[in-house]
Amino acid sequence: MSTDSLTTPAVEVVAEADPGARLAALRAPLGRWDVSVGPLGYLAGERQRLDGLTWQHFDVRRLGATIGAEILGVDLTAPRPAPVVAELRQALLDYKVIFFRDQPLSAAQHVAFAKQFGELEIHPFIPSNPDHPELVRFAKSADVGGYENGWHSDVSWRETPSMGAILHALEVPPTGGDTLFSDMYAAYDSLDESTRAEVDAREAVHDFMLAFSGQVPGDRREAMRAQYPQVAHPVIRTHEETGRKLVYVNRFFVDHIVGLEPAASDALINRLADTADQIEHQCRWQWEPHSVAFWDNRAVQHYACSDYWPSVRVMERASVVGGRPA
């Protein structure tokens, strides 16, 4: 090999600074595409607030910029004193979703832990643990597919949707099956002022039939509709404990936005639902057997990856009754 072939070609470097230097905390359009790049400056305050938190009864390992923390040093299989439960509830409010590893909960222990945070609901359209109806059972396999891979907030079709949900992994695939969570406070913070003015006072109609019509026998539909009528919730919800505003629209359960023509309603639902897609709003949890995720169902949306078929994935979820969105 000649030395000539190893010679670095002459290149004139005309840049005097990093490409991001002129942007600082500003977003900028990416050429002709309908996307922007650059720092999401509205995340800074919340990220810095979370950086300063300390806890008396456990340690945490943060996952996302403004969402998600693994709780270290708490055994969910053992009795938990009231101060520990209170601090876990505060951590849930702060991090929006909290995670635990190596928690071999029995079904009874799972229910007992969940009940420390409130009354539990029973889901009418998903099978439950045969001995504990409070536990929804998601048993996926080659014969049962995972169709939860879209951003949603659980049971927003209820008049009083869940406050929170506690999901326990019983059997997980060797790869895949992660769950992602998106910070819907950050979603609201991402909206420009004109969009906020457009949506702040609007309501959206939520309907269980959009996702669960196939679960209701024809001769039971009238009775189920009477028990679970369509319900209108604010498009922008105010969290009753934190006082923060958040986007409360999802494609699984929202039928339409009140007062808009169908095309305009669909366009606005899409635009708002897209805010969950922003990766900087998210954290991702990789399951192991006996991992637990506890999310604030008011503050986040979640997405269960369906990338493991035909492997087996078995989870059980307890959901804590919440209040009416306002």
- Would you please indicate which residues are annotated as catalytic (active-site) residues? 152, 154, 302, 317
> Could you tell me the sign of the dihedral formed by the alpha carbons of 12, 14, 16, 19, in that order?
negative
Q: How many CB atoms lie within 10 A of CB 255?
A: 15
For 286, residues 6+ apart whose C-beta sits below 8 A from its C-beta are 178
Token duo for residue 86: 């209170």
CA dist., res. 280 & res. 63, Å (int): 11
d(CA 317, CA 9): 60
DSSP string, 222-253: HHHHHHS--EEEESEEEPTTT--EEE---TTT
In 10 A of CB 73, how many CB atoms? Answer: 10
- What does the alpha-carbon distance between residue 64 and residue 52 come to, in Å, rounded to a whole number? 15
First-last CA distance in the chain: 74
Among residues 46, 48, 227, 35, the alpha carbon closest in space to that of 125 is found at 227
The sign one gets for the Cα dihedral 8, 11, 13, 19 is negative
- C-alpha 305/C-alpha 178 separation (Å) is 5
* 303, 151 contact by CB (below 8 A): yes
Nearest-angstrom CA–CA distance, 168 and 290: 6
In total, the chain counts a number of residues equal to 326
The rounded Cα 40 to chain-centroid distance in angstroms is 19
